[in-house]
Amino acid sequence: MQHISLTPFGRQSVTSGLLAARQRAETAPALPRIDKWSIFNDLRTARARFGLSDRDLAVLYALLTFLPAKVLEDDAALVVFPSNASLSDRAHGMAESTLRRHLAALVAAGLIWRQDSPNGKRYAARDASGALSLAFGFDLRPLLNRAAEIAAAAAEVTEAAETLRRSREALVLRLRDAAKLIAYGLESALPGNWDGLAARLLPLRAALRRKMDMETITRLLDQAGDILRALNRMVCVATEEMVGSAAHSGRHHTNSKPDSSDSEPCQEMAKAAADTPEPEPGPETEAEPVLPLYIVLKACPDLRLYSRTNLTSWRDLVATAAELRGMMGISASAWEEALHVMGPAPAAIAVSAMLQRIGSIQNPGGYLRALSARAASGGFSPGPMIMALLNRPTAVAA
């Protein structure tokens, strides 16, 4: 009469975990065939959930190599019986004492069972035909019984890792935006406590050098969000003052010169192609202003609808603005004045920002002349116009 013992050999005692695992296996429904390496990969992903180390998994991998079949199935023999020497060899020369410790960890985790013989040796008995009739060693059936649990744990770990990665990316973007806004505020000498916010930002940027858990990243995201909101308020205040002053100057200029060509946008649009000046290539055209080009493109996505290039340089932006100014009703003289007073890149930024909100500007030519007048006295920078656009919900990523 064949009897499979439920108790371990030698001084090892029966545990409640061992009995519970056996009971679950006996009452489990019929299980589908599962690829053994698929289960192993899931277990490798979720090994922390099962309290396993990488060395434990190395031993489990070695055990799986002794199973001839590629799949684990309910009615198959799933007991492997390698000697310690053979198992050590497949575990890359792991010492036998270390091997026994990791085997015990796999048993304690409920991922393998010991199927001990009367003398504790591992071996197999065969019938007259040579077929395997009885085997004593390590039973891999728990992997099949817990395959769904292992797969679910692996999916949860993968999702948590992806959430952590996305949250870290969001933190990096917030810190980058905050750092660039602070640099812009300081270089443009805008009013506000820029140095104080820069001091609050430093420890957050230093924390990126460390490995952080989700709780830490969430806390840093909240702090970075507070800093960004404070920066946006400061930029908005400066932007409103700049735009309000420029709009007032534009109305005054238009009313004081009713015969100006800026009051006749239709005639300017008709001759746009003929009198559009092309910027001369040179150091001034190529030099980047304080405001980064990608920020301008992010705030003014409509530019890409009219540009003949990919807008990868300031030269491309200036050329596109030169073509657009006639379509917007800006005279050649107003554009030339902006180029001369502001410089090619700031003038192009101003026209780009005006294009993005063209529906709210009644006289683009007069508006640009007003901005040029402010720039001549050192009272204009295109940065606040761009930051105001970025704060609008219609701004999209470039």
- Domain assignment present for residue 60? The answer is yes
Residue 360: band (very low, low, confident or very high) from pLDDT cuts 50, 70, 90: confident
C-alpha count within 13 angstroms, C-beta hemisphere, residue 204: 28
Do residues 110 and 146 make contact, with C-beta atoms less than 8 angstroms apart? yes
Q: What is the DSSP letter of 271?
A: T
Nearest Cα to 55, choosing from 115, 110, 95, 112?
Answer: 95
Least confident span in 185-199, 313-327, 354-368: 185-199
Task: Decide which of 215, 230, 245 is a domain's last residue.
Answer: 230
Taking the C-alpha atoms of residue 10 and residue 118, their distance in angstroms, rounded to an integer, is: 9
pLDDT single digits (tens) 61-100: 999 999 888 988 877 678 888 888 999 999 989 998 999 9
One-letter amino acid at 100 equals R
pLDDT of residue 51: 93
Residue 2: band (very low, low, confident or very high) from pLDDT cuts 50, 70, 90: very low
Least confident span in 67-81, 176-190, 264-278: 264-278
- Average pLDDT of the residues in 278-301: 63
Nearest Cα to 342, choosing from 292, 396, 284?
Answer: 284
- Domain assignment present for residue 237? The answer is no
Taking the C-alpha atoms of residue 52 and residue 106, their distance in angstroms, rounded to an integer, is: 8
Mean pLDDT of the chain: 78
Q: What is the largest CA-CA distance in the chain?
A: 115
Is residue 121 domain-shared with residue 185, that is, in the same domain? no
Is residue 49 domain-shared with residue 115, that is, in the same domain? yes
Domain count along the chain: 3
Is the pLDDT at 1 greater than 60? The verdict is: no
- Domain assignment present for residue 251? The answer is no
Is residue 352 domain-shared with residue 266, that is, in the same domain? yes
pLDDT of residue 7: 53
- Average pLDDT of the residues in 277-291: 46
Is residue 214 domain-shared with residue 300, that is, in the same domain? no
Is residue 287 domain-shared with residue 382, that is, in the same domain? yes
What Rg, from alpha-carbon coordinates, does the chain have? 36
Is the pLDDT at 285 greater than 60? The verdict is: no
pLDDT of residue 59: 94
- Domain assignment present for residue 244? The answer is no
Count of other CB atoms within 10 angstroms of residue 77: 17
- Domain assignment present for residue 152? The answer is no
* Residue 57, domain extent: 16-145
Q: Which helix (H) or strand (E) holds 137?
A: strand 132-139
Is residue 298 domain-shared with residue 361, that is, in the same domain? yes
Is residue 261 domain-shared with residue 386, that is, in the same domain? yes
Least confident span in 39-48, 251-260, 293-302: 251-260
In order of 255, 329, 370, 372, the CA distances from 363 in angstroms are 11, 8, 11, 14
pLDDT of residue 26: 57
- Average pLDDT of the residues in 16-30: 57
**Mapping DSSP to helix (H, G, I), strand (E, B) and coil, where does residue 396 land?**
coil
- Domain assignment present for residue 153? The answer is no
The pair of structure tokens assigned to 46 is: 């979720």
Is residue 30 domain-shared with residue 89, that is, in the same domain? yes
Residue 305: band (very low, low, confident or very high) from pLDDT cuts 50, 70, 90: confident
**Mapping DSSP to helix (H, G, I), strand (E, B) and coil, where does residue 34 land?**
strand
- Domain assignment present for residue 123? The answer is yes
Task: Decide which of 145, 169, 196 is a domain's last residue.
Answer: 145
Is residue 124 domain-shared with residue 73, that is, in the same domain? yes
- Domain assignment present for residue 241? The answer is no
Is residue 60 domain-shared with residue 180, that is, in the same domain? no
Is residue 85 domain-shared with residue 198, that is, in the same domain? no
One-letter amino acid at 336 equals E
Is residue 216 domain-shared with residue 283, that is, in the same domain? no
Taking the C-alpha atoms of residue 369 and residue 375, their distance in angstroms, rounded to an integer, is: 10
Least confident span in 89-98, 133-142, 217-226: 133-142
C-alpha count within 13 angstroms, C-beta hemisphere, residue 16: 0
